[in-house]
Amino acid sequence: MSNSESTNSVQKTEKKVALITGANRGIGQQVAKELAGHGFIVLVGSRKLENAIEAVSEIGENAYPIAIDVTNKESILKAANQVNTEFGRLDVLVNNAGVSHAGSSERSLEEILASGKASVADIDEMRAVWETNVFGLLAVTQAFLPLLHKAPSARIVNLSSGMASLNLNADPEYPYRGGFNVVYGAGKTAVNAITLALSIELESSNIRVEAASPGFAATAMNNFQGTETVEEASRNIVRAALGENDPSVLFSAPEGSFPW
């Protein structure tokens, strides 16, 4: 992403600018593709720049690569400085980067969920997952808040999950409650808490915050054992980024709203 190319593009078109973390594959890449199709300048974030460049080649027009490792403070600040220099603002931040576990990639979804149960969870694995899904999300948000404040109307979309809902998982009749664990599920609950805290803090500002669940998509995060396509799973995230969901709902599901 060259300074002259990106800056000139914004000056000529005044397109909105969106940053999506972990956008080199899966849901993140699909959301990037759809926002680019809606006329956004989309910054495709990835830990490795070469992966972002490859994703951009598939997305096409309006997409630009940017290196950002959400677990690395220096990488986050460098990305924020780059966006500030080249665009001067950010209209949408989609905190999409996430991992479901930090163990062997050969494990099935059932094994991943079982290993995350409170009685047996590896604390180092829990820390590693939360470093990306929770602390990384907040670190990125904090770094980009000044640029979001510069936009006329900005949005922060935090990727959540139905597994995050305490209300649902506390219900003995909820069929998926057996999958709630302290590694991934509770981490997404923490994301919801951060979303609520940010929403309260920013409610009188130009920034709207929403936790959005994509549903159960077949991605690398669950060894492609999900029941929905990436295209289907991206829809609610795109709606949230465009501000098309019910403004009274802070935790959205593909079919409407989720309880906290």
Q: For the segment 84-102, what is each residue's pLDDT rounded down to a tens digit?
A: 999 999 999 999 999 999 8
Q: What was the pLDDT predicted at 230? A: 85
For residue 228, what is the DSSP state?
B
Query: Per-residue pLDDT for 6 more than 50?
Result: no
Q: What was the pLDDT predicted at 132? A: 98
Confidence band (pLDDT; 50, 70, 90) for 225? low
Residue burial 162-201, b: 16+ Cβ < 10 Å; e: rest: bbbbeebbeeeeeeeeebbbbbbbbbbbbbbebbeebbee
Q: How far apart are CA 260 and CA 17, in angstroms?
A: 30
Confidence band (pLDDT; 50, 70, 90) for 112? confident
Query: Per-residue pLDDT for 228 more than 90?
Result: no
**Mean pLDDT, rounded, for 213-227:** 60
Say what the pTM is.
0.91
Nearest in space to 3 (alpha carbons), one of 94, 84, 90: 84
**pLDDT tens column, 129-147:** 999 999 999 999 999 999 9
Helix (H, G, I), strand (E, B) or coil at 39: coil
Q: How far apart are CA 100 and CA 114, in angstroms?
A: 12
- In the block, which residue shows the tokens 């820390």? 127
**Mean pLDDT, rounded, for 196-221:** 87
Sheet holding 63-67, edge to edge: 63-67, 41-46, 17-20, 92-95, 154-159, 207-212, 251-253, 256-257
Query: What are the DSSP E strand ranges found in the chain?
Result: 17-20, 41-46, 63-67, 92-95, 154-159, 207-212, 251-253, 256-257
Backbone angles phi, psi at 232, to 5 degrees: -65, -40
Query: Per-residue pLDDT for 20 more than 90?
Result: yes
Q: What was the pLDDT predicted at 227? A: 54
Q: What integer best gives the mean pLDDT of the chain?
A: 90
Residue 212 in contact with residue 31, Cβ under 8 Å? no
Nearest in space to 22 (alpha carbons), one of 115, 126, 157, 142: 157
Q: What was the pLDDT predicted at 142? A: 98
Confidence band (pLDDT; 50, 70, 90) for 222? very low
Q: What was the pLDDT predicted at 3? A: 40
Active site residues: 184, 188
Q: How far apart are CA 21 and CA 137, in angstroms?
A: 9
**pLDDT tens column, 175-198:** 989 999 999 999 999 999 999 999
Helix (H, G, I), strand (E, B) or coil at 236: helix
